[in-house]
Structure 1
Amino acid sequence: MKRLLIADDHLMIGTAMVYLLKQLDPTVEAIAVGSATAAMKALGDNGTFDLVLLDYDMPGINGIKGMAMIHEAYPDQVVGIISGRTEPQLVKTAVDAGAVGWLPKSMSDQPLLHALRMMAAGGRFVPTDVLDEWHPEDDRWSIFSDAEQKVARLLAKALSDKEIAKELQIEPKTVRNHVRAVLKKAGTDNRTKFALAFQE
């Protein structure tokens, strides 16, 4: 993750995050703005970012509405939500609407940096306690990125890496990388356990 845009109507919070990230990783270029509208302007002025982080509770245009606005203008822009709230239904609504994750403002330094990097790389981050409260039938695939979901669904059918690569028309090496990520996120240490836990 090299370029991050943070939109929070409490500019002190956004500015503090910019400072914190610069201390944790000097290579990160972070910009803080005070609204979703300002985030749109920053995108227009600077091009897309590795990750745009929107505060959920911004007045006027909240994070989810702001995300829809950004995705309409920049369909490929990766967007996550940050908030002091962690109600499972709110988180699920954001993820279903296209957010790559939901970051609680209470997160400590290193976990925050790890979550930001994961989201910027195309992964999905949702707090563990929130995941525990989601109905497993509705959300079990949501911990994976879109590409990982495709692999995970075939992995759950006990297909081999070679069969998955052929089915998705991607390289076997790419499949192996996705499989490792899928097993790690699912908390399973082998393919058989994953298939048993996630078979449809």
Structure 2
Amino acid sequence: MLILIADDHDLLRDTLVAYVQTAGGIDVLTAPTLDQAMTLIHNDGPFDLVLLDYNMPGMNRLEGLRRVLDLPDGPRVALISGEAPRAVVQEAIDAGAAGFVPKTLPAKSLVNAIRFMAAGEQFVPLDLLVPTEHSAHPMAKRLTKRELQVLEGLTNGKSNKEIARDLELSEPTVKLHVKNLYRKIGASNRTQAALLAREAKLF
């Protein structure tokens, strides 16, 4: 997998690269400005994912995101930022972004988010989405929107294959979601996860 991280803060950019490369299986190129990122996309692509810092030079709010999204055969693109408000995140998603990654995200979660987005998924932390009917429950707050959808499938007794078909995902991606939601809600198997969801009256 090849990704591009474009961010004008050298230390933060280097830290992100270290996180990602330590996970293995991901090669990373970097750029400090949008223009340099565009040059790399043209000369060194195709990239599986491009992460753009919302506040770096050349971005002009979401105009930079749209410039990359409008490229012929353009890569999947996500925003990375420490301070983008919810409205901006929603606008980016509506424009076609693959997701939004807070700079405060733990290293393991960051790598998982990158893998999800590169695989065609969309990643946005639950607390930055428009609140759902489940979001008030403490268990729901620990899960992403997609993890909630997978958990609902488990609660309905569906197999990974069935959940993958319903959500238009690959089975390995569903397995990864299942593993993550187990950890987050303290479940050790499908039956326990379903029982916990029912007890919480999530579905």
TM-score bracket for this pair, using the shorter chain length: 0.5 to 0.7
TM-score, scaled relative to structure 2: 0.65
Please say which of residues 85-94 and 118-127 is displaced more in the overlay: 85-94
2:41 and 2:94 mapped to 1: Cα distance?
23
Q: Kindly state the Cα deviation for residue 108 of structure 1 after the two structures are TM-superposed.
A: 1.0
Q: Does 1:16 align with 2:19?
A: no
Partner of 2:45: 47
1:84 and 1:108 mapped to 2: Cα distance?
13
1:73 aligned counterpart, secondary structure = coil
**Paired positions, count:** 181
Partner of 1:112: 110
Of the three residues 60, 72, 95, the one matched with 1:74 is 72
Superposed CA deviations along residues 143-176 of structure 1, whole A, max 9, x for unmatched, are: 56xxxxxxxxxx9xxxxxxxx9xxxxx9xx979x
1:67 and 1:113 mapped to 2: Cα distance?
21
Identity level (%)? 33
1:20 and 1:91 mapped to 2: Cα distance?
23
> How do residues 128-167 of structure 1 correspond to structure 2 at under 5 angstroms?
128-131=126-129, 134=130, 136=132, 143=145
Partner of 2:123: 125
2:99 and 2:117 mapped to 1: Cα distance?
7
Listed as ranges, the gaps of 5+ residues in structure 2 are 134-144, 147-152, 154-161, 163-167, 186-192
Contact 1:81–1:103 under 8 Å retained in 2: yes
1:102 aligned counterpart, secondary structure = strand
Partner of 1:87: 85
2:3 and 2:170 mapped to 1: Cα distance?
26
1:25 and 1:63 mapped to 2: Cα distance?
31
Partner of 1:152: none
2:70 aligned counterpart, secondary structure = helix
1:74 and 1:113 mapped to 2: Cα distance?
27
1:116 and 1:41 mapped to 2: Cα distance?
22
Q: Kindly state the Cα deviation for residue 86 of structure 1 after the two structures are TM-superposed.
A: 4.4
Partner of 1:7: 6
